[in-house]
Structure 1
Amino acid sequence: MIEFVFHTDDVARVRFAFSPLWELVRGLRVLADPSRHALHLPWVHAVRPKLRGLDVGFLRSAVPATDYIPDFLTPPPGTPLPDFAAELEIVRATPPEVVAEELRLTERGGAAGAARRAMAAEPARTLEAVCVQLGRFWSAAVEPYWERIRDLLEGDVLRRTRALAANGAEGVFADLHPAVRWHGGTLFVDRRWDYRGELAGRGLLLVPSVFVWPQVSVMVPPYQPMLSYPPYGVATLWESSPAAPPDALAALIGRRRAELLLALGSPASTTELSRRLNVTPGAISQHLGVLRACGLVTGHRLGRRVLYTRTRAGDALAESPSVQ
């Protein structure tokens, strides 16, 4: 069991970030054992033909399907507006001795396999080869889907930031994951290994990740304390079309606007809504304008992008038993 002990001002130091590099590394695990991550089978089927010519086996030696992932491959993200190229440069700057040490580690303290030991024997060469293959894997398997993944991650950060402001730690952790529990100022995370410690001013970094589903991932001191978890709405990520809206709701506000309101159960951008509903971005913007004017949706700017989400009135209408 992992136990992070919070003191009075530690909740104020909870922050959110996400990482394209983390999604890439976790995506390698999904490809290695899709049966553990059945939710992502549509992605697996779509990307496998694109991986011909990539040395995926080499990357899998560094990122095993179960066991320990070397920490240098997943540096803690420092911003909610991440950039893959910048993250890859952080990996490339890892000291060779750190690369060698972490490649020799395993989750249960045993000896690393032959492939990992061979990689650790030439850490500088291994690091450069890993970075090259990570870049190729990103281009083939993750970048084409990054916009929809990013929408989901940004939406979760927005949702939980609002919950933190409104209800404190309880608002953030109450529905984070079945393995996570908040009680009496301590955050409990169900894991096979044990740790208990105070945050001691370091704060806690919360990192939503689509490919970590269905589990959570934890990092403890001396690293930045971190908890990675599946974002709200991850089950909708690979949907090609939304469910049909109830007839009563469609009759009230129009079928297309009803579909749009239901699709905003998790925040999304105009581009993502256009893809999911198979409607032009211009038409989506017009419908959003009507829904905003009625007080049913609102927009939140994140950098250069705007994410739309339902208001409380929109939630009440979409979830009302009378329209189900």
Structure 2
Amino acid sequence: MRTVQPARPPTAIDVAFCFMVVRYALTGTALADVRFGISPLNELVLSLRSWREPGRYPLHLPWIRRTRPLHGQLDTEMLQALVSSRRWVPDFLTRQPSSPLTRFEEELARLESVPAATVRRDVAATYPGDEPVPEVLQGRNALRRMISALEEYWQLCFAPDWPRMRAVLEADVTYRGRQIAQHGLATMFADLSDRVRMDGDTVEVQSGAGPDWIRPADQGLTLVPSLWTSAACVPVSPDEPPTIIYLPRGRATLWESAPLPTSEALAGVLGSHRAALLQRLAAPASSTELALGLGVTPTAVNQHLRALRAAGLLVAVRHGRSVLYRRSDLAEQLLAASGAQASGVQPSVAAP
């Protein structure tokens, strides 16, 4: 997986070496086959970039600090080798997810059937030029050791926080789907990243290294939100299924657990806890996401959500196995009238 670097002022090097452009041509019915996927394995593998350069991931520093002492219990030699100095990772570890409901256990099981030739090819592509391929990534037992190392990393460092991460990713997918319905594909693509745009029936992604290439996306294009990319990513090889990994909305609140002050007027009508929940729902969220962000149980949050929905202040939308809540038009008017749109920290939510 190759990183598309964030925008910056051009330098002399940029003039000499123009950005490569990856193009996906949405031919025929593929124009209507832009889909979304969420991959726990992608997130796990891409998070290894923070081991090499934690300063690139300031929003994740609370998690990085908390989990770093656990690295001594892991196969750090293998896990560190999976990320090259360019922060590339092997494509077969970041395969296109089949849906927003993909489970880590399913993805890990599929790794066992990856052909040895594919492993060698993708590892070599991760370490181009003069950078040598680490010895730990070579040999017949390399794949088995990768799978074991990733499973241990998941269980020890990732699984406890995955519900919180997944909630942010699912909320973004819902938002993008609404963008497509209301404003069309071109608007949605333009909002993904300043390096992604739609030109006619072709989606263009600018990258910082390598040759330009174009391929038809006749089987559709999958968009994958990720908390562990710097801007946008595409596969290193044009032979991989058309995929764009991008940054989701709401990521800045991922590790927040502190509260937002509410307007006294609104709190006087609804109570401080329900008023606080309405403020937090500026973007769609599940009860699990809200509970994790507030540090309380989903049961406590659900009681308030049911009351707000019964009053016509929330709209509930089922997305796969989750229910996402968003503010209704009435709630938006109420918040605007009360002046309760200020940012800050949010009070804890207790059961009514």
Q: Same fold (TM over 0.5)?
A: yes
Q: 1:5 to 1:66 in 2, by over 3 A?
A: same
CA apart distance, 1:6:
3.6
More deviation, 230-239/255-264:
255-264
CA contact (8 A) 1:151 1:307 kept: no
State the secondary structure of the residue aligned to 2:125.
coil
CA apart distance, 1:75:
1.6
CA contact (8 A) 1:4 1:186 kept: yes
Q: Which residue of 2 aligns with 1:259?
A: 276
Q: Which residue of 2 aligns with 1:161?
A: 177
User: Which letter does structure 2 place at the counterpart of 1:242?
Assistant: P
Aligned pair 1:29/2:49, yes or no? yes
More deviation, 177-186/237-246:
177-186
Taking the aligned partners of 1:14 and 1:6, their CA distance within structure 2 comes to 9
Q: Which residue of 2 aligns with 1:136?
A: 152
The Cα offsets for residues 267-293 of structure 1, whole Å up to 9 and x where unpaired, read as 322233223224443332221122212
Q: 1:188 to 1:275 in 2, by over 3 A?
A: same
The Cα offsets for residues 118-164 of structure 1, whole Å up to 9 and x where unpaired, read as 24540x30100110000000011110100011111111111111222
CA contact (8 A) 2:189 2:197 kept: yes
Taking the aligned partners of 1:7 and 1:102, their CA distance within structure 2 comes to 27
State the secondary structure of the residue aligned to 1:190.
strand
CA contact (8 A) 1:104 1:120 kept: no
Which among 135, 147, 160 is matched to residue 163 of structure 2? Answer: 147
Q: Which residue of 2 aligns with 1:308?
A: 325
Q: Which residue of 2 aligns with 1:52?
A: 72
State the secondary structure of the residue aligned to 2:73.
coil
Taking the aligned partners of 1:179 and 1:249, their CA distance within structure 2 comes to 41
CA contact (8 A) 1:103 1:112 kept: no
Equivalences for residues 188-227 of structure 1 within 5 A? 188-193=204-209, 194-197=211-214, 199-212=216-229, 214-219=230-235, 221-227=238-244
CA apart distance, 1:248:
4.1
Q: Which has the higher contact order (CA 8 A, sep 6+)?
A: 2
CA apart distance, 1:174:
3.2
Q: Which residue of 2 aligns with 1:88?
A: 108
CA contact (8 A) 1:76 1:224 kept: yes
Q: 1:286 to 1:54 in 2, by over 3 A?
A: same
CA contact (8 A) 1:11 1:168 kept: no
Q: Which residue of 1 aligns with 2:312?
A: 295
CA apart distance, 1:8:
6.2
Taking the aligned partners of 2:288 and 2:294, their CA distance within structure 1 comes to 10
CA contact (8 A) 1:269 1:307 kept: yes
Q: Which residue of 2 aligns with 1:113?
A: 132
Q: State the Cα RMSD in Å.
A: 2.3
Equivalences for residues 13-28 of structure 1 within 5 A? 13-28=33-48
Structure 2 gaps, min length 5: 1-20, 342-352
Aligned pair 1:174/2:190, yes or no? yes
CA contact (8 A) 2:123 2:133 kept: no
CA contact (8 A) 2:83 2:89 kept: yes
Taking the aligned partners of 1:89 and 1:162, their CA distance within structure 2 comes to 33
Q: Which residue of 2 aligns with 1:243?
A: 260
Q: 1:114 to 1:223 in 2, by over 3 A?
A: closer
CA apart distance, 1:319:
5.8
Q: 1:293 to 1:80 in 2, by over 3 A?
A: same
CA apart distance, 1:264:
1.6
Equivalences for residues 268-287 of structure 1 within 5 A? 268-287=285-304
Q: 1:318 to 1:233 in 2, by over 3 A?
A: farther
User: Which letter does structure 2 place at the counterpart of 1:175?
Assistant: D
CA apart distance, 1:200:
4.4
CA contact (8 A) 2:317 2:323 kept: yes
CA contact (8 A) 1:15 1:205 kept: yes
The Cα offsets for residues 228-272 of structure 1, whole Å up to 9 and x where unpaired, read as 111110110000123222334434433211210122223322233
Q: 1:240 to 1:317 in 2, by over 3 A?
A: same
Taking the aligned partners of 2:102 and 2:50, their CA distance within structure 1 comes to 22
More deviation, 304-313/38-47:
304-313
CA apart distance, 1:178:
2.6
Structure 1 gaps, min length 5: none
TM-score, normalization: structure 1? 0.89
| Aligned length, in residue pairs | 319
Q: 1:6 to 1:99 in 2, by over 3 A?
A: closer
Q: Which residue of 2 aligns with 1:38?
A: 58
